[in-house]
Structure 1
Amino acid sequence: MEYLVTMTNHVPEGTPEEAVADIRAREAAHSREPAAQGRLLRLWRPPLRPGEWRTLGLFAAEDDSRLEEVLASMPLRVWRTDEATPLSAHPDDPSPAAPGRAGAREFLVRFTRSAAEGTPAQTIDSAVEAEAVRARELAAQGSLVRLWRLPGQGRALGLWRAEDTTELGAVLEAFPQSPWMTVETTPLGEHPNDPALTAS
C-alpha cells in the first residue's frame, strides 16, 4: 500500500544551528535505508511560506502500523508531525513508471469529481472510458506519472510532469470529466534526499 505523507518540522526555539545541521545530516544518511528497502519512494518540497519546513513523501508499507515504524525511525521525527493519507490503486495508474520529460516540473493534482445531479449514468460511464484512453496517452507522453484513488467518493491524486502550470492546466481542462472536477494543484520542488535523485 502507498501513502502520501505531509511531514512538518517544528524546531524548538533556541536550538543551535549545529544541532539542526546534525539532524539534517543524519536524516539524509538514514533516508537511504528505507529507500533501498522500497519503503521511501519519493520526497518533494511543496511551496513554503517564510519559516516553514515541510516535506511531502511517497511511502510504501503493508499497513498503517508498518508505515509508522518507518516514520518513527527517521531522525527528524523528534521535531516533526506527520499526516499520512492512504492511497488506493487507480485503474488508470500508469505504474510502474512513465517516461521522463527533460526539464519538466512535477506537480501533485488532487481531483474531486462531482457530476451534476441528474447526469445520466451512461454519460458518466462514457466519460470514464474516454478518460482512461486519455490517461494512457498522457502517460505515454510522460505527462502523467502516477494516479491513485484518495479516501472518499470521486477523489483521486495524480503525479504529473509539465513545463509550467499553464501547460498542466491545458492538459487537465481537456479531460473528459473536466466539467465535473474540482482540481487542487501543488507544484513540487526537488528534495535533496529524494530517492529519484540520489539513485541516479
Structure 2
Amino acid sequence: MQFLVTMTTQVPDGVTEAEVDEVRGREAAHSRELVAAGQLLRLWRPPLQPGEWRTFGLFEAKDADELEEILASMPLRVWRHDEVMPLASHPNDPASPTPLDASATEYFTIFRLTVPEGTPAELVDEKVAGEARRTRELAAEGKLVRLWRRADGPALGLWQTAGAEELTTILESLPLWNWLETDIVPLTVHPSDPAHAAV
C-alpha cells in the first residue's frame, strides 16, 4: 500500500546549527536505507514560505502501523509532524510508472469530479472512456507519471512537463476537464529523492 506523507519539521529554539546538520546527515543516510528496502519511493519539496521546512514523501508499507514504524525510525521525526494520506489504485494509473524526465518540472494535481445534474448516463460513460484513453496517451508521451485515488475521495495525479503552461494545455485536453475542480501543486527537487539520485 502506498501513502503520501506531508512531513513538516520545526526545529526547537536553542538547537545549534551543528546539531541540525548532524540530524539532517543521519536523515539522509537513513533515507537511502529506506529506499534500498523499497519503503521510500519519492521525495519532493512543495512551495514553501520563508522559514518553512516541509517535504512530501511517497512511502510503501503493508499498512498504517508499518508506515508509522518507518516514519518513527527517521532521525528528523524528533522535530517533525507527519500528515498521512493513504493512496488507493486508480483505474487510469499508468501500467508502468513513467520514467523521470530530469529536465521537467513535476506537479501534483488534485481532481474533484462533479457530474452536472441531469447529464445522460451515456454521455458520462463516453467521457469516462475518453478520459481513460487520453490518460494512456499522456502516459505514453511521458507527461502523466502516476494517478491514485486519495482516501478522502479526489484523484491525485503526478505529472512532469516543461512548465505550468504546458500542464494547463494538457489538463484542458482531458475529456472530463469541464467537470473537474483542479488544484495544482508545483514540486521542486528534494536532495534525497531516490528518482533523481538514479538519473
User: Structure 2-normalised TM-score?
Assistant: 0.96
Q: Which residue of 1 aligns with 2:75?
A: 75
Unaligned ranges ≥5, structure 1: none
Aligned counterparts of 1:170 and 1:180: Cα–Cα separation in 2: 16
* 8 Å contact from structure 1 (residues 99, 141) kept in 2: no
* 8 Å contact from structure 2 (residues 43, 58) kept in 1: yes
Q: Which residue of 2 aligns with 1:167?
A: 166
* 8 Å contact from structure 1 (residues 34, 40) kept in 2: yes
Unaligned ranges ≥5, structure 2: none
Matches for 1:75-154 after TM superposition, within 5 Å: 75-101=75-101, 103-153=103-153
| AA aligned opposite 2:52 | E
Matched, 1:41 2:41: yes
| AA aligned opposite 2:63 | D
Aligned counterparts of 1:194 and 1:134: Cα–Cα separation in 2: 29
1:198, distance to aligned residue in structure 2 (A)? 2.4
Q: Percent identity?
A: 55
Q: Which residue of 1 aligns with 2:28?
A: 28
Moved over 3 A (4+): 99-102
| AA aligned opposite 1:38 | G
| AA aligned opposite 1:174 | S
- Structure 1 window deviating more from structure 2 (87-96 vs 139-148): it is 87-96
Q: Which residue of 2 aligns with 1:190?
A: 189
1:10, distance to aligned residue in structure 2 (A)? 0.8
Aligned residues: 199
* 8 Å contact from structure 1 (residues 42, 57) kept in 2: yes
- Show CA shifts across 1:24-74 (max 9, x none): 000000101111111100000111000000000000110000000100000
Evaluate the alpha carbon distance shift between residue 24 and residue 95 of structure 1 in structure 2; reply closer, same or farther with a 3 A threshold.
Answer: farther
What SS class does the counterpart of residue 126 from structure 1 fall into? helix
1:16, distance to aligned residue in structure 2 (A)? 0.5
Report the aligned-residue RMSD: 1.1
- Show CA shifts across 1:142-185 (max 9, x none): 000000011244x1001001111111011001100001101111
* 8 Å contact from structure 1 (residues 86, 151) kept in 2: yes
| AA aligned opposite 1:119 | T
1:102, distance to aligned residue in structure 2 (A)? 5.2
